[in-house]
Amino acid sequence: MSVLVAADFDVADWAAWWPALTAALPGEHLVRSVAEVGDDAIDIAIVANPPAGALQGLDSLRLIQSLWAGVDKLLADPTVPPGVPLARMVDPAMNDAMAETALWAVLGLQRSFFDYAASQRAAQWKPLPQHRADDFTVAVLGLGQMGRTAAQRLVQHGCRVHGWSTRPCVVDGVQTHVGDAALPELLATAQIVVNLLPLTPATRGLFDAAAFAQMPRGASLVNLARGAHVVEADLLAALDSGHLHRAVLDVFATEPLPVAHAFWSHPRVTVLPHVAAQTDPRSAAVVVAANVEALRRGLPISHRVDRARGY
Ligand code: NAP
Ligand code: GLV
């Protein structure tokens, strides 16, 4: 049987991924196109934003392994076979990268570094008051692989950290909150909200005018998860009214962010091109290989997506 790698990679991506995957899976026959072997010969698919329909008709498929942590796009494709186990990428190296981005964003907000970047563009010499980490309450929404690692890094940095999830959990140094009823009070206490939720029907559009109104005046949003979590027009209105101080955004409703989008030139928006935590072939290929080996040996697959929950 063969392993299909179905991805929207460019030449440079393939140059990094192909050697990493073939080295990590020495006993497997990897193909980049179904046509190389025929539908029935594919029993594993390794996917990264595959074109819609890429897995249709693969009746021998026994495992879909995502190279992405978030599987919202895959689950939105009705041709992805519903009965086949789907595993998402969970890689400690990726969690660390996300924690670094969250720390960078919080530090930039705490010490006004983003404001100084704007002052530089305007040739303004404008010292601002210096704040300590423990002047800030940070709410981390989502306490999974990414959120938990980021929350712990922020605790080490000295912030007061709160976290939010659907099921009770314990994270050292973090005051945790559970369920929808806890959200308004949590938002009301946070000077910085860091979004690390998966995109599901329950979380789509969570950051709307009502949520921004619950945040205190002068608070900031850091969105490192998915663009569709945010109602972008409501965010712009909350920034323009002065209610929110700043937004640090890595993800957008439309990616790449359109050239004419107001976020590009907004003085209190910082834009990253969806790079908060990129999958690193060097470590991720090993994670993939462990699941492929588990399947071959009849052992349980790690990091299976609960399709009913959507993550
Ligand atoms: P994860 O391990 O599945 O964790 C998800 C967390 O969100 C869990 O704590 C879960 O709570 C919580 N949650 C889900 N729905 C909720 C709801 N309705 N209310 C409250 N809490 C809810 O996911 P992860 O690996 O940390 O990744 C999170 C997301 O980050 C991914 O889905 C992806 O979209 C995004 N991401 C972005 C980048 C980037 O570069 N920008 C990179 C990687 C990932 P329970 O455990 O209690 O259910
Ligand atoms: C990136 O956004 C991922 O989900 O891995």
- Per residue of the chain (311 residues), give pLDDT as tens: 999 999 999 999 999 999 999 999 999 999 999 999 999 999 999 999 999 999 999 999 999 999 999 999 999 999 999 999 999 999 999 999 999 999 999 999 999 999 999 999 999 999 999 999 999 999 999 999 999 999 999 999 999 999 999 999 999 999 999 999 999 999 999 999 999 999 999 999 999 999 999 999 999 999 999 999 999 999 999 999 999 999 999 999 999 999 999 999 999 999 999 999 999 999 999 999 999 999 999 999 999 999 999 99
Distant-in-sequence, close-in-space partners of 132: CB < 8 Å, separation ≥ 6: 110, 158
Q: Which residues are catalytic?
A: 226, 274
φ/ψ (deg, to 5) at 198 = -75, 155
Mutate which of 145, 146, 306 to test ligand 1's pocket (most atoms within 8 Å of Cβ)? 146
CA of 148 from ligand 1 middle (Å) equals 10
- Ligand 2 pocket, 69 CB below 6 A? yes
pTM above 0.85, yes or no: yes
- Ligand 2 pocket, 281 CB below 6 A? no
CB atoms within 10 A of CB 81: 14
Q: What is the DSSP letter of 166?
A: S
CA of 225 from ligand 2 middle (Å) equals 8
- The confidence score (pLDDT) of residue 282 equals 96
Residue nearest to atom 36 of ligand 1 (CA): 225
- The confidence score (pLDDT) of residue 36 equals 96
Taking the domain 2-91+279-297, which CATH number applies? 3.40.50.720
Can you tell me the distance from the alpha carbon of 149 to that of 159, in angstroms, rounded to the nearest whole number? 14
Residue whose pair of structure tokens reads 């979004």 in the numeric block:
195
Same fold, 2-91+279-297 and 92-271: yes
Contact call for residues 56 and 39 (beta carbons, < 8 A) = no
Taking the domain 92-271, which CATH number applies? 3.40.50.720
The single-letter code of the amino acid at 73 is: K
Distant-in-sequence, close-in-space partners of 78: CB < 8 Å, separation ≥ 6: none
- The confidence score (pLDDT) of residue 156 equals 98
Q: Three-state DSSP class for 235?
A: helix
| Domain boundaries of the chain, sorted by first residue | 2-91+279-297, 92-271
Q: What is the DSSP letter of 137?
A: E
Measured on CA atoms in the order 78, 79, 83, 88, is the torsion positive or negative? negative
Cis-peptide into 300, omega within 30 deg:
no
Contact call for residues 247 and 229 (beta carbons, < 8 A) = no
- The confidence score (pLDDT) of residue 215 equals 98
- Counting ligands in written order, the one closest to the CA of 252 is 1
